[in-house]
Chains A and B, each alone.
Chain A
């Protein structure tokens, strides 16, 4: 199967056997592609003596730690083909992650994102309210992960309104007008979790305005780390939003700059789901072996999309638990899982750290 055919598959329609077959063969081909076109990747594969000519189960495929994209420029195409570079929001002292996208890769991400999201909110494009500021997506060649998320999702609406200004202030008037204009039609809200909480929920709460968004659907992602201090649980988050604007349908997703597009949506049962375009494997820290269902470990993410950079098999810093496969009450096929946190950076003892 080639990627065009794969892109026609419904996002949650393959069972374990079908998916394993697809992933083992397709990821092997992707690995060969990167082996040929990315010298650092080739060096890595050689150093571990991984023989791509042999048949491997996709669970045996090597995985690159996401940190590697901070310390190296990893590209599987000539520099002149790169149209977009995603970059993480690292602090100034830290090196930033860099993900290089060519035209095809970027287009494929958008397409897959649309497929996954529309399977949740319907195929029809609906008016969209973006809980962010429009100016963040202006610089198109080199963009932050947040901007990439916003710009990717923004394609999914029939029309868009950005309800925050550059100072991250909510424009309530604009919001009210937009709602009125849609005359009860369903509205699609998108924003990063902490932005939604801090600049949308808090602002509404403070203003005392209660816009009617009972017919809207919110998709949010980017993780809960920034909300740790506030100690907001997923349930609190939903309840609080419901209080201020009546919104009923709220979906969280798990995703990363290194594999934009093939996101993991949270279903009605509160489980994150791997679509047919990506997969997860939970690994044990002790020896990187595959953890059992129900056992916490490090999340490896696999995606069929990356061609312009070798990001098809990654080891994240996140920890999670595989809850099951093909048997979620929501009826979607594929693996479903839970995120338990992010690994703290190791704090080794030693003499090299007096400033911290």
Chain B
């Protein structure tokens, strides 16, 4: 405790360029003196449920589907369901202490889910918010501020600290020295850089590096799909909503089905997607150049690739003749897709590697995936989600059960 006090004082003296979004009276000493709680405590659930209600009632939430989805995640019914799965009475758990969350600079809502996993596992939380400013971040911070002003949540809200700073700040070093667990969301490079900053001896790191995600489309089903446009929209939400840069965003689309159905489905699917993108997506000029660079890099390093003609640079489609495990090195974003026609799903096995993560699935039954999972040698990161649902948060992520990881059980063996 004494060390922590020293760190806190050092921090107050040396920090500049750190913006505290919550609470108004920034006091690191307060948080280091508080205790971890039991996972899924009553307090935690009612706080998050109140946050959910507040966000749902925010008139601005209709403009931000991510806020609505987050509020939906935090509703009481869902939390009670999660408690049954992650914290059954036979597995009573208590938080580790302070969790320091480092969220990616350019994902608006990742921090909020990370915070929720910290809260639910019974911890005190210091959150480094995205350095890029987002309205969504402000909305969540404001809602937390509002809750903290209510008598019933005043104490509980002291269990969190939300800050924003740039990479030059010494804040990461200070928070790292006092936390019991550090969660690093980011690419490999970022994770490596942050891991250089030491933790205290007892603390653990939980890190998430670069991932590669794909989409599997069953053309035999799509051709009979009642609302092909809805599926294109679902895919838009998986990709363009995050500039195709979330770890869960598909880069490769694998088409299954008869040759005829694949061609017809591609036509239909891309037409719908193109219309949507044209209406809703703003392409930055540099992204257009990046797509061209990505394509030429692929042309140099991958075998037999071809560009499918499209009206403009909004969507780039690349036809691949042969699957290779180096695909993830030459990926694009902001609407850059590689397509492959597979004769069967087991063909995918050669690209399923440690980097592989989400499979967005359309038109393939759960049983089929279950049967296949052994053949494909799916690894710990892998998750299969319906198209449109890839970015949905789960307390199990990249092989970590976040609740178990961020808490401890009292082992009693008698």
Contact assessment for B293 and A286 in the assembled complex, using a CB-CB cutoff below 8 Å: no
Which A residue's beta carbon lies closest to that of B107? Answer: A351
Known: A317-B286, A350-B107, A355-B193. A68 touches B245 (CB 8 A): no
Interface segment out of the listed B184-192, B345-353, B381-389: B184-192
Query: A345 to chain B: which residues have CB within 8 Å?
Result: 286
**Which A residues touch B283, using CB under 8 A?**
285-286
Give complex CA distance A336, B286 in Å.
24
Task: Pick the most buried of B185, B189, B285: most chain A CB atoms within 10 A of its CB.
Answer: B285
Task: Give every chain B residue within 8 A of A347 (Cβ-Cβ).
Answer: 106, 132, 284
User: Contacts A47-B295, A356-B105 given: A351-B247 contact, CB under 8 Å?
Assistant: yes
Bound together, the chains give a CA A354 to CA B127 distance in angstroms of: 12
Tally of chain B residues near chain A (CB < 8 A): 54
User: A68–B193 contact, CB under 8 A?
Assistant: no
CB 8 Å contact bits of B161-173 with A (1 = contact, 0 = none): 0000001000000
- Say how far B168's CB is from chain A's closest CB, in angstroms: 11
CB within 8 Å: A-B pair count: 144
Known contacts: A67-B293, A343-B285, A343-B289. The answer to whether A355 contacts B300 by CB under 8 A is: no
Interface size class of A (residues with CB under 8 A): 35 or more
One of B87-95, B215-223, B307-315, B359-367 at the interface: B307-315
A286 touches B312 (CB 8 A): yes
Choice from A43, A298, A351, A355 contacting B208 with Cβ under 8 Å: A351
Please pick, from A40, A285, A350, the residue contacting B300 in the complex, using a CB distance under 8 A: A40
* Inter-chain contacts of A355 with B (CB < 8 A): 105, 167, 186, 189-190, 193-194
**Which residues does chain A contribute within 8 Å of B132, judged by CB atoms?**
347
CB pair B249–A350 under 8 Å, yes or no, is yes
Query: Most B CB atoms within 10 A — which of A46, A71, A344?
Result: A71
The residues in A between 277 and 314 inclusive whose CB is less than 8 angstroms from any CB of B are 285-288, 298
B305 at the interface (CB under 8 A from A): yes
Bound form: Cα–Cα A287–B293 in Å: 14
Q: Which of B243, B286, B314 has the most CB of A within 10 A?
A: B286
Tell me whether chain A's interface is mostly helix, strand or loop, or mixed.
Answer: loop
Indicate whether A49 sits within 8 Å of B300 (C-beta atoms), given known contacts A343-B285, A356-B105: no
Contact between chains at B299 and A46 (CB < 8 Å)? yes
Q: Which of A314-356 contact B (CB under 8 A)?
A: 315, 317, 319, 343-356
- A351/B104 in contact, CB under 8 A: yes
**Residue contacts A-B, CB under 8 angstroms, 14 given:** A44-B296, A287-B312, A343-B285, A344-B286, A345-B286, A347-B106, A348-B245, A350-B107, A350-B244, A351-B107, A353-B104, A353-B105, A353-B106, A354-B191
Within 8 Å CB of A46, what residues of B?
299
Contact between B289 and A298 (Cβ–Cβ < 8 Å)?
yes
Say if the beta carbon of A48 comes within 8 Å of chain B.
yes
Q: Tell me the minimal C-beta distance from B283 to chain A in angstroms.
A: 7
A44 and B300 contacting across the interface, CB-CB below 8 Å: yes
Chain B residues whose CB sits within 8 angstroms of the CB of A67 once the complex forms: 289-290, 293
Task: Looking at the assembled complex, report how far the CB atom of B389 sits from the nearest CB atom of chain A, in whole angstroms.
Answer: 17
Whose C-beta in chain B lies nearest to the C-beta of A283? Answer: B288
What is the chain B residue whose CB lies nearest that of A72? Answer: B300
**Chain A residues near B137 (CB-CB < 8 A):** none
B91-115 contacts to A (CB < 8 Å): 102-108, 110
